[in-house]
Amino acid sequence: MSKRDYYEVLGVSRSADEGEIKKAYRRIAMKNHPDRNPDSPEAEDKFKEASEAYEVLSDPEKKAAYDQYGHEGVNPQGGFGGAGGAGFSDIFGDVFGDIFGGRGGRGGAARGSDLRYDLELSLEEAAQGAQTKIRVPTLVGCGECDGSGARKGTSPTHCGACNGVGQIRRSQGLFAVQQTCPQCRGRGSIITDPCNKCYGRGRVEEQKTLSVKVPAGVDTGDRIRLSGEGEAGPAGGPPGDLYVQVVVKEHAIFQRDGANLYCEVPISFVDAALGGELEVPTLDGRVKLKVPPETQTGKLFRMRGKGVVPVRGGPQGDLLCRVVVETPVKLNSKQKHLLKELQESLDNDKHSPRKSTWFAGVKNFFEGFGA
């Protein structure tokens, strides 16, 4: 069919090994498969072209002949089902068997589904680590029938429709597609006398209580994997895994950004002007914070090593305290009088340089309109 260079069709070099050729064909075939592109003749042509190229380059003898003689070196009439050729269904099963179920029945019972559990933690638990218990609804193997689904003392019978494989192949013109056997639904066997506890499913619903060890330093979005704690597989298959998704609750004082913590510290007008010493909280307890005189609102103070140790390693973060100067409220007449006296004694240019600079900028701005 194809007259293009087979290596060019698959997008590989002539020195490509078997694995590279297979990977390239799989990528192209998955993209252009007729089942995914039912209304695209162009995709079907690309699919056939790639399949023809793979049929030749995956066979050492045909590949050697093609490398030496080109298209003339391989039998153009052989097609996918020609003598000595690997039929298309064989190619399809070899490359796509693990995706479309070609190995389902032969590889044993299917693995159970993975589960997810959202675990809410306080900031303290996330930063310092914790041991907690969770209850997870899941499917476990039926103890009455040992997961077989058949009544105790009986066994499932062999499925004749798929010969116990769990998959059947259906020809669609040039193509052969593997599908799950509708008779046994991929199990390879049929239960004629179901278990009266699980009704033939081989699994029952149960609430499992599990202990989860949360490592120090986790954050929202981190996952803890509990191997084998997911759903039991059907027909006695191996269980899946349980993924515990960490969600750190909002904290009343701190905000976290990676390894660092942030908090706002309200200070009085007097402490901001004259300086002072304050007690601020950390995850390890209270510490002293020295506020220098003439501190302005919004100033950040860094307390090194008072943040979080990252779960994946690295130095401990810092605590950054942002001071907010709090305006006095509910003043009595005497306090108001004292503040007015203070205001009258202050020289704005000297004692409020930012205010003076800002008003000068505003004045220049409006004067620019009148120019």
**Residue 131, beta-bridge partner list:** 213
d(CA 51, CA 78): 13
- Enter the tokens of residue 79: 């097609």
d(CA 98, CA 75): 30
214 contacts 129 by C-beta, under 8 angstroms: yes
Give the pLDDT score at 318: 96
Give the pLDDT score at 172: 64
> What's phi and psi for 256, nearest 5 deg?
-110, 140
Give the pLDDT score at 135: 94
Q: Is the dihedral of CA 86, 88, 92, 93 positive or negative?
A: negative
Give the pLDDT score at 102: 40
296-315: buried (b, 16+ CB within 10 Å) or exposed (e) per residue?
A: eeeeebebeebbbbbbeeee
Whose tokens are 């590949």? That residue is 63
Burial class of residue 95, CB neighbours in 10 A (0-12, 13-18, 19+): buried
Give the pLDDT score at 322: 95
97 contacts 103 by C-beta, under 8 angstroms: yes
d(CA 80, CA 87): 5
Give the pLDDT score at 350: 72
Residue 234 carries which DSSP code?
G
**CA 292, 324, 326: angle at the middle one, nearest 5?**
100
d(CA 349, CA 351): 6
d(CA 267, CA 326): 6
State which residues of the chain have pLDDT below 50: 1-2, 76-107
> Where do the domains of the chain lie, and which CATH numbers do they carry?
6-100 (1.10.287.110), 115-156+191-248 (2.60.260.20), 255-326 (2.60.260.20), 333-370 (no CATH)
Give the pLDDT score at 184: 83
What is the H or E stretch that residue 305 is in? Answer: none
CB atoms within 10 A of CB 138: 22
d(CA 203, CA 138): 10
What is the H or E stretch that residue 211 is in? Answer: strand 203-214
Whose tokens are 């081989």? That residue is 202
Q: Is the dihedral of CA 132, 137, 142, 146 positive or negative?
A: negative
Residue 195 carries which DSSP code?
-
What is the H or E stretch that residue 41 is in? Answer: helix 41-57
Give the pLDDT score at 173: 60
211 contacts 130 by C-beta, under 8 angstroms: no
349 contacts 358 by C-beta, under 8 angstroms: no
Give the pLDDT score at 355: 67
Give the pLDDT score at 35: 67
312 contacts 291 by C-beta, under 8 angstroms: no
Give the pLDDT score at 107: 43
**CA 120, 279, 128: angle at the middle one, nearest 5?**
30
